[in-house]
Amino acid sequence: MSMQPALNTSATVTADSPKGPVFPLYLEIEVGGKSKDELIAEIKSGGCDVSSWAADIMFKPAWKPGEKQMVKFARVKVRDLGFTKNPLICDIFARIRELGHSLCEPSDGPAIRLALKEQPVGDIFWTAMEQIADYEDNPFVFYVERYDDGKQWLDAYWVRLGCELVFRLCK
């Protein structure tokens, strides 16, 4: 039985933050409990692509499948976290935690890619997660994107501050 993701594009459903802004619920899905090979096969069988960079970081020791659980995610711009200038990545991560939320787990990016079957064309965001070094020691995070040609990808690259990001909402 496949669970349909709860995708919210309205600001009416929110998750309380104990210490700051209230962020809209972007997505609620089941994550974890699947191996790298299972996730890659499911993503590809769903008509999406997995970049070589994304596959590479999924096969690093830092990538873990995680426990199966339901997770709520917020999606924001960096400025929504209270920044007025380009912060360091460590500052973004510290702010998410300061607000009582959590970074994404390594298995969240692939799970989100699987859930967003109808991602809008031209849409891209990164997962606020501890970076995983690729084969050349570049610190990468997952990107979930749909190009203008309609092709959907799970990708990995350096954090781009101009793109939106997702993180785990507090429970």
What average pLDDT does the segment 119-147 reach? 95
How far apart CA 105 and CA 93 sit, in angstroms, is: 13
How far apart CA 76 and CA 73 sit, in angstroms, is: 10
Task: Please give the DSSP secondary-structure letter assigned to residue 73.
Answer: E
Handedness of CA 160, 147, 132, 170 (dihedral sign): positive
How far apart CA 119 and CA 117 sit, in angstroms, is: 6
C-alpha 126: how far from chain center: 5
CB atoms within 10 A of CB 120: 8
Tokens 């090979």 belong to 37
The domains of the chain are located at: 6-168
- pLDDT tens digits, 90-128: 999 999 999 999 999 999 999 999 999 999 999 999 999
- pLDDT tens digits, 26-66: 999 999 999 999 999 999 999 999 999 999 999 999 999 99
**Backbone region of residue 149 per phi and psi (left: phi > 0; alpha: psi in -120 to 50; beta: other values):** alpha
Q: Count CA atoms closer than 13 A to 58's CA, side-chain side.
A: 25
| Of 9, 110, 14, nearest in space to 57 by CA | 110
Q: What is the pTM of this model?
A: 0.86
